[in-house]
């Protein structure tokens, strides 16, 4: 039993290391990181629908993204700005939770739902459309033609990418909020909306919640898969 646990532990953390290395590979890294960008921008869009509307989402080659929405109330703007990093961190947690409970089909359905929802309603820029189509085709091909082992490893790798990049992107916004607070994206927007809470505080909040979801995502996934 100890040998099985040790073997699983090595595999589990190997995928985290692989995800970390993969997102730093030139060109390919930016391509795979867009999966987290897609979730992040979808979080903005879903919340913006409550009391507002979403004009479009753009996904860019450098792995950045932008959601263009209109809000009629202050609270709508506040929660829309808050949603991106928190939703991405939550989805990273949920991906490991579902894999740990062996609910891989639900995880697959969620990923495909985000892809096709964005493709049909929101994403209009050329690279964004290219990314959604190419990722969907490759993802479906591997799921249909690949073995069960390949499918399991693919889903674990995607979950690891979501987890690692959600923490890394939250750290980056924390760093920017400290040294360039006016350029800190969502943290800067929240600072402007609240007036009294500066961007570094929001940057710290985004990083703290990412670590919290990371810890519990790994805990749920590891202990359930290891049994």
Per-residue pLDDT tens, the chain, 227 aa: give them: 444 344 456 677 889 999 999 999 999 999 999 999 999 999 999 999 998 899 999 999 999 999 999 988 999 999 999 999 999 999 999 999 998 888 888 999 999 999 999 999 999 999 999 999 999 999 998 888 888 888 888 999 999 999 999 999 999 999 999 999 999 999 999 999 999 999 999 999 999 999 999 998 887 765 555 54
Residue 116 in tokens: 């096709």
Distance from C-alpha of 35 to C-alpha of 166, rounded to nearest angstrom: 10
Q: Are 44 and 84 in contact (CB under 8 A)?
A: yes
CA angle 130, 37, 61 (to 5 degrees): 45
What pTM did the predictor assign?
0.92
Tell which residue, 60, 67, 76, has the closest CA to residue 45.
Answer: 67
Task: Strands of the chain (E only): list them.
Answer: 52-59, 65-71
Distance from C-alpha of 209 to C-alpha of 199, rounded to nearest angstrom: 15
Whole-number pLDDT of residue 2: 45
Tell which residue, 113, 127, 121, has the closest CA to residue 59.
Answer: 127
Distance from C-alpha of 167 to C-alpha of 77, rounded to nearest angstrom: 24
pLDDT tens-digit series, residues 65-88: 999 999 889 999 999 999 999 999
């Amino acid at each position: 039993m100890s040998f099985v646990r040790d073997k699983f532990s090595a595999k589990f953390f190997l995928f985290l290391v692989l995800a970390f290395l993969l997102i730093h590979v030139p060109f390919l890294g930016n391509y795979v990181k867009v999966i987290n960008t897609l979730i992040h921008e979808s979080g903005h869009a879903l919340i913006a629908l409550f009391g507002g509307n979403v004009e479009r989402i753009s996904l860019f080659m450098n792995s950045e993204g932008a959601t263009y929405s209109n809000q009629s109330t202050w609270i709508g703007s506040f929660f829309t700005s808050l949603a991106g990093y928190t939703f991405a961190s939550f989805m990273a947690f949920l991906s490991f939770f579902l894999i740990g409970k062996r609910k891989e089909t639900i995880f697959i359905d969620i990923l495909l739902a985000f892809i096709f929802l964005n493709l049909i309603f929101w994403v209009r820029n050329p690279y964004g459309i290219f990314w959604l189509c190419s990722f969907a085709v490759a993802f479906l091909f591997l799921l249909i033609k690949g073995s069960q082992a390949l499918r399991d490893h693919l889903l674990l790798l995607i979950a690891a990418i979501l987890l690692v990049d959600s923490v890394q992107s939250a750290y980056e916004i924390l760093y920017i909020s400290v040294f360039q607070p006016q350029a800190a994206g969502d943290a800067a927007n929240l600072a402007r909306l609240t007036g009294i809470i500066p961007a570094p505080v929001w940057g710290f909040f985004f990083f703290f919640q990412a670590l919290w979801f990371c810890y519990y995502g790994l805990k749920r996934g590891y202990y359930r898969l290891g049994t």
